[in-house]
Amino acid sequence: MSVVIPSGASGASGGFEFASGAQSPDWYAHFALLADAIDTLLSGDEVALTRLSAEQSDFIRFNDGKVRQIGQVSQGKLTIRLIDGAKQAYSSLTVCGDPAADLRDIADALSTLRDGLRDAPDDPHLLYDTTQWHQATRRSGKLPTPDALLCIVSECARGVDFVGFYAGGPVMRGFASSRGSRGWYEVSNFSFSWSLYDPSGRAIKSTYAGDHWDDSVFAAKVEQAAARLPVLGRTPRALSPGRYRTYFAPSAVLELVGSASWTGFSARANASARSPLFRLHNGEVGFDPRVSMTEDLSLNVAPRFNGDGYQRDSVALIRDGRSAGQLTNARSAREYGLTPNGAPASEAPESLSMAGGDLDAADILSALDTGLYVGNLWYVNFSDRMNCRLTGMTRFATFWVERGQIVAPVDAMRFDDSLYRLLSSELERLDAQPELLLSDGTWGERETGGWKLPGLLARSFELTL
């Protein structure tokens, strides 16, 4: 079931409710009921692995400090994976929360899957967990009501061109195996990203995410960005291609590290020599000893189980600048003779944490002295995958700093540099307090996961255009 209720246009205020008669189900109880029912519908040696992805979310879009769109979504998607011997087939269906209706759809889906398995070939890389386990994470957060959010945004955005997007509410993930395993993950959190625009068309982008909303924290972030708006009206500093001393804010570090880690820690990509960190994993090169990264499940921003039924623990990926581990999904383990460690099918980190350093927030500009302050990077991609060389654009919140003072904006420029260089010879200092950045993806559904990353001061960063 998916319910979206737009409310008003620019300047709308007040709360909103579900359409008449529509209610969000108790997804925890409903998933348990469906999982138990699926077990009774199986026959012979059939095994079912079932996943639920559900949410009840508030979405609010702002323009010029006023509400542009507002709505609420409640939806659930069930994926059934039917396994018979070495054969498997999948089916995904929308569930509405009505047991009778959902069970009819599930029975039809199982019948269709059985028909498909009759002619399906054996899957040579099929592997799933057969142990029995139970685990549940249920964490309620302190989130603003829509009314309260509109009030604080209206107050803080007074006098500035505030454009932003808020998404918040409970996100649920469930897993059930007919072999007896049950997993549940339910958290309430929010992600709010916004930009303050200058009449020149330049902007400063900011984000606030977590599971404990604090009006004072939000107000301070808006105030900090607003304090830099006058700089955007100054004549931009024209830079020639070359290498510049640079501080990367955590959001910019995310673009670099996130792009490299998409397949960089994948056991499958490394085994097939397609990982951009292949040379690191083989010991050919290393990062600065201060660089350590972990798939850190203790952040509690992602489920501790995967779709193959494996429970997940934290995995050290880089320790003291050297490769310490990889993310191994069951299929990769079966294909390459490895041991699965609960990684998702993508083998991309879902809860990446990078160790901080000794650079206090109050000292960032003085430590940079003269050079670039990069708040965000855009359109990042590989220019040389095997050397982990990345290219992209600077855009919002990129400033020229002289003697510890921001003096001018810098127009968008293209960069082309290697993460091997930035995290080794060019790494000077790391922020003392890494920042938690939740995934803000909402394509089809709100995503789980996130990153905890420090800012980074580099001796040089290469601009090409």
Distance CA 270, CA 348 (A): 12
Angle at 107 between CA 102 and CA 112, to 5 degrees: 125
- Do the Cβ atoms of 306 and 312 come closer than 8 Å? yes
Give the single-character DSSP code of 403.
T
- Do the Cβ atoms of 313 and 293 come closer than 8 Å? no
User: Nearest CA to 461 among 396, 386, 398?
Assistant: 398
pLDDT for position 2: 33
* Residue 373 bridge partners (DSSP): 247, 399
Residue 391 has pLDDT above 80, yes or no: yes
- Do the Cβ atoms of 424 and 287 come closer than 8 Å? yes
Distance CA 269, CA 277 (A): 9
Give the tens place of pLDDT for each residue, 84-124. Answer: 999 999 999 999 999 999 999 999 999 999 999 999 999 99
pLDDT for position 201: 86
Token pair for 320? 């003291």
Distance CA 401, CA 462 (A): 17
Q: Which helix (H) or strand (E) holds 80?
A: strand 66-84
Using CA atoms, how far residue 65 sits from 164, 196, 233, 440, in Å, is 8, 9, 20, 20
| Mean pLDDT over the full length of the chain | 93
Q: Which helix (H) or strand (E) holds 27?
A: helix 27-41
Distance CA 150, CA 125 (A): 51
User: Nearest CA to 416 among 464, 371, 353?
Assistant: 464
* Residue 171 bridge partners (DSSP): 55, 187
Average pLDDT score over residue span 429-450: 94
User: Nearest CA to 175 among 136, 138, 140?
Assistant: 136
Average pLDDT score over residue span 75-86: 97
User: Nearest CA to 361 among 451, 247, 254?
Assistant: 247
Distance CA 395, CA 377 (A): 6
- Do the Cβ atoms of 422 and 389 come closer than 8 Å? no
Residue 163's CB is within 10 A of a number of other CB atoms, namely 19
Give the tens place of pLDDT for each residue, 272-326. Answer: 999 999 999 999 999 999 999 999 999 999 999 999 999 999 999 999 999 999 9
Residue 9 has pLDDT above 70, yes or no: no
Percent of the chain with pLDDT over 70: 95
Distance CA 14, CA 168 (A): 17
Token pair for 393? 């654009």
Token pair for 383? 């220019």
CATH C-level class of 27-227: alpha beta
Q: What is the sign, positive or negative, of the torsion defined by CA atoms of 54, 78, 34, 81?
A: negative
Residue 345's CB is within 10 A of a number of other CB atoms, namely 13
pTM, full prediction: 0.91
* Residue spans per domain, the chain: 27-227, 234-463
